[in-house]
Structures are given as C-alpha cells and as structure tokens.
A and B are shown apart, each in its own frame.
Chain A
C-alpha cells in the first residue's frame, strides 16, 4: 500500500445473487432443491481507485449504480466477491446514523457502545465525551433513555459520535440530508475541519453542488462500472451526460398515471434551438424553445398549456403558461405542437427537466400532465453553484482614503 494513500480499492467486484423467490427455510430449500433460480448481478465491476491522505473523494451515480455497495465494501460491511480494499488507520462511517443505538440505554451508555462498535477504545471516548455531547446539543438529555429522544436528537447523537472520534478515514453516505439546516451547516463545518486535519473522506451524495463544494475528486459509477474518475466538477459533468443518455427511462415515470381515456394528452416535450432543431444541451443564457406535442380527441377551446423547467433537486426554476401570455389556442381534433420560445435561460450549469401540462381553463384540473418529459443539460462557463448564472462585475474600492478628518 502506498504510504500516501488512505484507501486503496483494487479491482473490486461484487456479485449479488438475485433469487426470484429466496428459500429461507429448510423445507423450501429441500422442495426447491436444484431449482433455486437466481440471476447473477454484478453490482460492482473491477472498481479501482485510491484516496490520498487528507483527500475527499465523492462517489456519484444514479440510483442503483452501486454507490452504496461500494461504500459498504469499503466500510467492511459487505465482503467483495473479488478484489480488495486497503484502509489505513481508524475508520468511522456515517452510513446510517444511530444504527448501533440501543433504545433502552441512556445517551451516555450509547455513546460508549456506539464508539466501541466503531472500534474506539473507552479511554479515547472518555476524553472526547464532552465534545460529543456538546456537538449533539444534548447536555440536558444525555442520561435519558435514547428511546425517548426525538428523531432529530437521535440523528445528532449518531453523527456526533461518528465524527468526534477523530477518524483517519470517514465514510459518509447521504447523511447530510438529515437534521435541520443549522445542524446540516454544522455538520458541513465539521467535515471541513476534518478535511483540514487530514482526514480522508469518501463521500456519497445526490447533490452535485455538495460534491463540487466538498470533494476534490469524484468517481462516477454507472451500473457497477467506474466510468469516470477525476476532478469533482468534471465528474459531475460526466454524471450529467449519463443522465441525458438515460433520459427516456426517466420520462416514462413522469406520465400522469390515469387509465381513463384522455380528451387531450401531452405526447412529447422537446427542447429546440433557435433554428428549430431538437437539442439536449444548451449554453447558459442562450435562448431556447420548448415544444409540446399534443394529441386531442375533440375540438377544444379551453386548454391552458403549461410548461415548467425544474432543476435536479426538483425546484421549479421557470414556469409559463398560455393564459399568462394571453394566448388562447383553439385546438382541433388531432395532433399538433405548441411552441414556447424563451429569450434566455440564465441558469447555472447542470441537469434540467421540462414538464408540460394541459389544464382546463378556470379549473385546477389537468387534462394531462407529463413531468420530466424532457431532460437537458445547461453548460455554464464557471460558477456552478446556485440557481441563476448571469454576468457579474466586481471591483474593489478602498475606503481608507475617503475618511476625511
């Protein structure tokens, strides 16, 4: 193992057996003997990377890409099918906060129990006990049984233990999504402090922003393959490309799921460039068109067409409809297109999705709605955080000389 590396993952593969119906009793095992049908499923294939001392590496990928499996293999919860993981130093993992808590015991006892599950000697815990309690903000409740804790207290205590034991390696899975915003900010501060102190961190999150903020490098997983490793912002870029490639899969999920025959339905939604071509990538600030194709079973004059653009955390960043544009389309039976032309989309770089709906005027009932019907990527030159990207000027003005006596 290289002495500058904290984590080395060598040619790691993990196979799961997917049983169609898993026999867990002896009778079933005997009855199903030789018929135990399973498919092999490689959750991870030949993963190979390392984490340097003090470095933070993110893991990004869609659901089911193997992120959690990889994390569990590194944490030693799952054994790989082949390959190996080498880890140097004390490991602490934030896979599920408070997983080792015994509800009948007091917070105090649970701190010791949980720390010893992480392999930390009692003496060490005793030294940091006050820090842990203070971080969890549980000074008044530390001798209460954990079963009386609120879920927030529970999670805070779990986080406090895992993070205050000064691990050399920290494995974090999505846990920053819990707790109130103040606590989240506190956790992030703590993670940054650990980064400064040389803790190596392996980090899984669904938030591309957080990955860019926290990680120096990132690994992109797709169906168990490591398709990219490199700087965090390039990794997010590559991850977004994967999403675009697979957008059709997502689109079907957004269909409003009513079985009844629709009078008018949204057939498709597409992003158009200025010259009318269907595209899936535009530059931030460019103008673009959104075209909604409908199919109508009757002649209608009470349709309101709505288009929305949402970012990858589900926030609607743009919305418009025909009524507000004072455009009242008269629909004839058959199919047709309604096109919205947007002068500029000054959004930060990332993945966006377009939703379309057709509403009956004067009601809140949709004739039809098709969410995430179209996925596209916006590329912005720099500053990738926040929601909007727009040119900014900055200047320095010293006030020292202007103070006159």
Chain B
C-alpha cells in the first residue's frame, strides 16, 4: 500500500449507526459527561501536554521507584548494603592508588573522593539504567498505556534514593571524624542538586528513546561514561586540571561539562578545603576554585538553565519517536 491510494476507496456501509442504543438513560447520571477530561491520541503531542502528563504521573513514578528499590536487592543477603558497597569500593580503590601508591598530598582525601563519587554515582547509575529502561520494560510499553517518559524519569528517582542513603553515610563519616563542612556554602547543594537531577533526567529521557532504535546507545554510553568520569574532578583536584588547561586557554571548556560545576559545588560545600600547604613544602596548593558563593551559584544556575532546555528538547524528541515504541520493541 502507498499513501496515494489511501484516501480513495472507502467502501463503508454506514448502516444503522445513527440508531440510539438501548441503554437506560437513567444510569447516565452515574457518569456525568460534561465534567470529564477528554484525552486525545494523535500523531503529535504538544510539549505542554507532555509536561502535564508527567506531572499527573507523580504517583505512578513514586510507585515505580518504590518497586525498583524494593526489588533491586530483594533476594540478596546483604540487601541495601550493596548500594553502599559500590561507592565504598570505588573510594577504597582510589584511596589506595592515589594516597598510598601515588602519594597524593591532598588532605582528607576520602572525603574529597566521597563528595565527587556521590554526585557521579547518581548521574552514571541513573543514566545507565534509564537508557535501557524502555527496552527492559518492553512488556509494559507494548501492552499498557501510560506516559512512557515515566520509565526513564523514575530511574532517576531510584538513583536519588540510593544517593540519599550514601549521603547519610557521608554525613556520618564527617561527624565521626569531626570534619566540618563549609556551612556557608551548604545551601549551594540545593541548586547544584537540582541542576544535577534535571540534567540527568534530560539525558535519561533522550538516551532511553534513542536506545529503542539503536541498541548500541547503551554500550556506547558505558564507554563514554568511563572517559567522562576522568573528565570531572573527582579523583584529582579541580585546580590542577584547571591550571593545566588554562595554560592553553581552555579553562572555560572544563566548566562546560555540566557535571563538573555540580561536583565542585559539592566538594566546596562538603570537603571545604580550598587550599593546603603540603608537608615539607612552603608553597600553598589549591584544590578547589577560590570563588565565593555567587561564583558557584552562577555556575549551577547556568547548568540548571541549560539542563531545563535540554530536558524540553529531549521531551520533544521523545514525543516524536515514541509513537512507534510499541512496534520497535
């Protein structure tokens, strides 16, 4: 069949369709018609409808997050502890390599690592699981009608739950060692976290939809994330990378990475040591940017604004191609 012969012959016998049905009119009042919402299914969905749909699916998303969290470690003996063991291992490995083998002089190196890994884990685990969320839930996508964006977005929600567990552990570690965060910078965690969430959600929505058509996306992402991890000042101090790049006039590029501003904000607020004098040396070494609260705030707001735009673009792209999800899966 081609498009051209589509509209022509329509042998429709319109018979008796006008006849009223024999439904008792008195029961009609049980379903008052005029007040009910009208739902439209058509080839295109407006961005506004999409956003409304997501908003109305809050409850569904919270159920999906709860399910995911409940099910993830359901039949394991250690259960929730596993969600701690992953970052713990990452931190332990980098600590051994950089503090003991490479002999990095950065003080409180564990806290420095922890602050960065906390942010990175949320981002990478959410984006990774979200990318395959539509494919792995193909049964749902093919058989049940609901706003599909909910699947990748609730993966971000799930990552937030584990993020908060890890954040509690970090707080306990800080308290146990008696390290104090930079109190005057703590409020910056809010815009930084928001920026992180929106950016992660934007990538989650975008990549999950692309992955339906190109299953490589998932594998490609894993590789990109490895490189990306080292592009963000998590293991090494921000300042050393920045000074190296600035010599070539590329310093601005470093902060173009949306994750970097979030990571350094977390480090500034939680780790709080901007500079130190290494033992046996007289020169001061910088670890973090020296900017004040406003400098950080501007960066985070910048990321947030960019992420919101990216999120809307992702939704538009998602909306364009989601019509065929049920066929492609």
Give the B-binding residues of A (Cβ under 8 A). 1, 3-4, 13, 16, 24-27, 29, 40-42, 45-46, 48-49, 52-55, 72-91, 93, 95-96, 99-100, 102, 104-105, 109, 112-113, 116-119, 121-122, 168, 195-199, 216-217, 224-231, 234, 238
List, in ascending order, chain B residues with CB within 8 A of A195's CB: 23
Would A116 and B59 count as touching, CB distance under 8 A? yes
Q: State the 3 A-B residue pairs at the shortest beta-carbon distance, nearest first.
A: A79-B323, A230-B15, A99-B143
List, in ascending order, chain A residues with CB within 8 A of B19's CB: 217, 231
Would B11 and A1 count as touching, CB distance under 8 A? no
Q: Is B33 an interface residue (CB 8 A)?
A: yes
Partner of A73, one of B2, B41, B142, B213: B41
Q: A89-B31, A89-B37, A217-B21 are in contact. Are A79 and B15 (CB under 8 A)?
A: no
Would B38 and A79 count as touching, CB distance under 8 A? no
List, in ascending order, chain B residues with CB within 8 A of A118's CB: 144, 146
Spot the interface stretch: B67-75, B96-104, B169-177, B242-250. B67-75
Chain A interface main SS type: mixed
Instruction: Give A8's nearest chain B residue, CB to CB.
Output: B38
Would B14 and A229 count as touching, CB distance under 8 A? yes
Would B71 and A216 count as touching, CB distance under 8 A? no
Would A198 and B144 count as touching, CB distance under 8 A? no
Q: Is B281 an interface residue (CB 8 A)?
A: no
CA separation between A4 and B23, bound complex, in Å?
12
Minimum Cβ distance to chain B for residue A8 (Å): 9
Would B67 and A113 count as touching, CB distance under 8 A? yes
Partner of A76, one of B36, B39, B74, B215: B39
Minimum Cβ distance to chain B for residue A103 (Å): 9
Q: A41-B1, A104-B71, A104-B74 are in contact. Are A226 and B144 (CB under 8 A)?
A: no
Would B143 and A55 count as touching, CB distance under 8 A? no
Interface residues of B in 51-72 (CB under 8 A from A): 56-57, 59-60, 63-64, 67, 70-71
Interface bits B127-161 vs A (CB < 8 Å: 1, else 0): 00000000000011111111000000000000000
Interface bits B13-40 vs A (CB < 8 Å: 1, else 0): 1111101111110011011011011111
Partner of B10, one of A122, A168, A217, A225: A225
Q: A41-B1, A105-B71, A117-B60 are in contact. Are A197 and B11 (CB under 8 A)?
A: no
Most chain-A Cβ atoms within 10 A of its Cβ — which of B21, B60, B139, B323? Answer: B21
Q: Is B279 an interface residue (CB 8 A)?
A: no
CA separation between A53 and B21, bound complex, in Å?
9
14 A-B residue pairs with CB within 8 Å? A13-B6, A26-B214, A45-B1, A74-B41, A76-B39, A79-B322, A88-B37, A90-B36, A99-B139, A104-B70, A112-B63, A122-B59, A228-B13, A238-B13
List, in ascending order, chain A residues with CB within 8 A of B43's CB: 79-84
Minimum Cβ distance to chain A for residue B39 (Å): 5
Number of A-B contacts (CB under 8 A): 195
CA separation between A229 and B22, bound complex, in Å?
17
Minimum Cβ distance to chain B for residue A303 (Å): 46
List, in ascending order, chain B residues with CB within 8 A of A83's CB: 42-43
Instruction: Give B9's nearest chain A residue, CB to CB.
Output: A225
Q: Is B12 an interface residue (CB 8 A)?
A: yes
Q: A42-B1, A229-B12 are in contact. Are A77 and B142 (CB under 8 A)?
A: yes
Would A54 and B21 count as touching, CB distance under 8 A? yes
Q: A24-B214, A227-B11 are in contact. Are A84 and B33 (CB under 8 A)?
A: no
List, in ascending order, chain A residues with CB within 8 A of B37's CB: 88-89
Would B39 and A117 count as touching, CB distance under 8 A? no
List, in ascending order, chain A residues with CB within 8 A of B186's CB: none
Minimum Cβ distance to chain B for residue A89 (Å): 4
List, in ascending order, chain B residues with CB within 8 A of A104's CB: 70-71, 74-75
CA separation between A144 and B33, bound complex, in Å?
39
Minimum Cβ distance to chain A for residue B42 (Å): 4
List, in ascending order, chain A residues with CB within 8 A of B21's CB: 52, 54-55, 216-217
Minimum Cβ distance to chain B for residue A26 (Å): 4
Would A229 and B15 count as touching, CB distance under 8 A? yes
Minimum Cβ distance to chain B for residue A202 (Å): 13
Most chain-B Cβ atoms within 10 A of its Cβ — which of A3, A29, A104? Answer: A104
Q: A105-B70, A112-B63 are in contact. Are A100 and B12 (CB under 8 A)?
A: no
Instruction: Give A2's nearest chain B residue, CB to CB.
Output: B33
Would B6 and A196 count as touching, CB distance under 8 A? no
List, in ascending order, chain B residues with CB within 8 A of A1's CB: 38
Q: A42-B6, A86-B40, A99-B140 are in contact. Are A25 and B215 (CB under 8 A)?
A: yes
Interface bits B81-110 vs A (CB < 8 Å: 1, else 0): 000000000000000000000000000000
Q: Is B324 an interface residue (CB 8 A)?
A: yes
CA separation between A112 and B64, bound complex, in Å?
10
Partner of B144, one of A86, A87, A117: A117
CA separation between A16 and B324, bound complex, in Å?
9
CA separation between A320 and B235, bound complex, in Å?
86
Partner of A84, one of B11, B42, B140: B42
Instruction: Give A92's nearest chain B residue, CB to CB.
Output: B145
Instruction: Give B31's nearest chain A residue, CB to CB.
Output: A198
CA separation between A16 and B322, bound complex, in Å?
14
Interface bits B212-243 vs A (CB < 8 Å: 1, else 0): 01111000100000000000000000000000
CA separation between A84 and B40, bound complex, in Å?
7
Would B3 and A217 count as touching, CB distance under 8 A? no
List, in ascending order, chain A residues with CB within 8 A of B7's CB: 46
List, in ascending order, chain B residues with CB within 8 A of A119's CB: 56-57, 60, 146
Q: A54-B28, A197-B27 are in contact. Are A117 and B327 (CB under 8 A)?
A: no
List, in ascending order, chain B residues with CB within 8 A of A198's CB: 23, 27-28, 30-31
List, in ascending order, chain B residues with CB within 8 A of A84's CB: 40-43
List, in ascending order, chain A residues with CB within 8 A of B31's CB: 53-54, 89, 168, 197-199
CA separation between A80 and B13, bound complex, in Å?
23
Would B71 and A100 count as touching, CB distance under 8 A? no
